[in-house]
């Protein structure tokens, strides 16, 4: 059983990294493998809507997004964490997620998703909502915790002093581990839910 973590922070020892470390300690205790990829300093461009991924099954820009797609396909769960920039997820992680979810065509159904946001003061829940959107459109159950998973801190590592935030991370990881294990059992017994051929309308035709 394994989890992929996408860390949107450009700061290697920043608060997002600290929040994810708290989750990682729980996953280690639960025997769940973790691979964490920090994308915040990568030169990643946004989706250009070329549509080439529809045939290729991967993005035309062959960068970290295509590497993440391979790891995501093999994972049972995905944690996406972002520092809050101007009340939303930072631009790099949004570029990564838009292209990752749009260009990859493997079945994401029942892979468990969890979102984490980190801020000095404001915009945590807006960012958390934004990140959860990717899971909600992909058949991915969303793990929840004891609050809207977030931590406060400004200077690198300061989030460690947010006792409640750190507890939220541990609770979230425990709940996510439980959900992944429960889904693995259910998949064995019942298989994945039936999927209809998609109906795709845009309200004008
Ligand atoms: C461009 C920029 C915009 C920011 N906007 C916000 C904001 O809207 N709300 C907030 O509370 N903090 C904001 N911050 C502060 C960061 O969210 C905060 O320092 C956080 O700990 C950074 O996480 P990191 O250490 O993982 O990079 C901003 C920081 C930067 C660099």
The tens-digit pLDDT sequence of the chain (205 residues) is: 999 999 999 999 999 999 999 999 999 999 999 999 999 999 999 999 999 999 999 999 999 999 999 999 999 999 999 999 999 999 999 999 999 999 999 999 999 999 999 999 999 999 999 999 999 999 999 999 999 999 999 999 999 999 999 999 999 999 999 999 999 999 999 999 999 999 988 877 6
Which residue's structure tokens are 């934004």? 130
DSSP letter assigned to residue 141: P
In a domain, 205, yes or no: no
137 within domain boundaries: yes
Q: How many domains does the chain have?
A: 1
Of 7, 16, 22, 83, the one to substitute when testing ligand 1's pocket (max ligand atoms within 8 A of C-beta) is: 83
Q: How far is the CA of 47 from the centre of ligand 1 (A)?
A: 24
177 Cα to the center of ligand 1, angstroms: 28
Q: Whose CA is nearest to atom 16 of ligand 1?
A: 119
Which letter, b or e, does each residue of 84-123 get, where b requires 16 or more Cβ atoms within 10 Å of its Cβ? Answer: bbeebbbebbbbbbbbbbbbbeeebebbbbbbbbbbeeeb
Residue 204 placed within a domain: no
pLDDT of residue 203: 78
- Asked if the structure places residue 151 within a domain, the reply is yes
Residue 58: DSSP 8-state: S
Strand ranges in the chain using DSSP code E only, listed in sequence order = 2-7, 33-38, 77-85, 88-89, 112-119, 150-152
**120 Cα: distance to centroid of ligand 1 (angstroms):** 6
Q: 141 alpha carbon to ligand 1 midpoint, in Å?
A: 28
Task: Determine the atom of ligand 1 nearest the C-alpha atom of 152.
Answer: 21
Q: What is the pTM of this model?
A: 0.97
- Token reading at 149: 């998973």
The predicted pLDDT at position 205 comes to 65
Could you tell me if residue 203 is inside a domain? no
Instruction: Match 């838009």 to its residue by tokens.
Output: 98
- List of residues 6+ apart from 30 with CB closer than 8 A: 173, 174, 177
Task: Report if residue 201 sits inside a domain.
Answer: no
Q: For residue 196, tell me if it sits in a domain.
A: no
DSSP helix/strand/coil, 142? strand
> Which residue is associated with the tokens 């025997």?
31
**Residue range of the domain that includes 92:** 2-190
Q: Can you give the CATH number for the domain in which 52 is found? A: 3.40.50.360
Structural domain contains residue 198 = no
| φ, ψ at 179 (rounded to 5°) | -65, -40
């Amino acid at each position: 059983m394994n989890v992929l973590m996408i860390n949107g922070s450009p700061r290697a020892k920043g608060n997002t990294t600290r929040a994810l470390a708290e989750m990682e300690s729980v996953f280690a205790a639960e025997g769940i493998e973790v691979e964490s990829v920090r994308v915040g300093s990568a030169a990643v461009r946004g989706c250009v809507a070329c549509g080439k991924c529809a045939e290729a099954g991967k993005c035309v820009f062959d960068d970290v997004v295509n590497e993440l797609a391979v790891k995501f396909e093999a994972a049972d769960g995905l944690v996406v964490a972002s520092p809050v920039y101007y009340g939303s997820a930072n631009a790099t992680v949004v570029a990564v997620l838009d292209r990752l979810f749009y260009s990859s065509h493997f079945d994401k159904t029942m892979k468990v998703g969890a979102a984490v946001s980190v801020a000095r003061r404001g915009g945590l829940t807006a960012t958390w909502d934004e990140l959860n959107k990717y899971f909600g459109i992909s058949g991915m159950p969303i793990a929840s915790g004891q609050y809207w998973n977030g931590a406060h801190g400004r200077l690198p590592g300061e989030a460690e002093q947010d006792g409640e935030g750190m507890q939220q991370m541990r609770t979230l990881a425990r709940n996510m581990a439980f959900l992944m294990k429960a889904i693995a059992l259910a998949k064995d017994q019942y298989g994945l839910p039936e999927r209809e051929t998609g109906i795709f309308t845009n309200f004008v035709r």
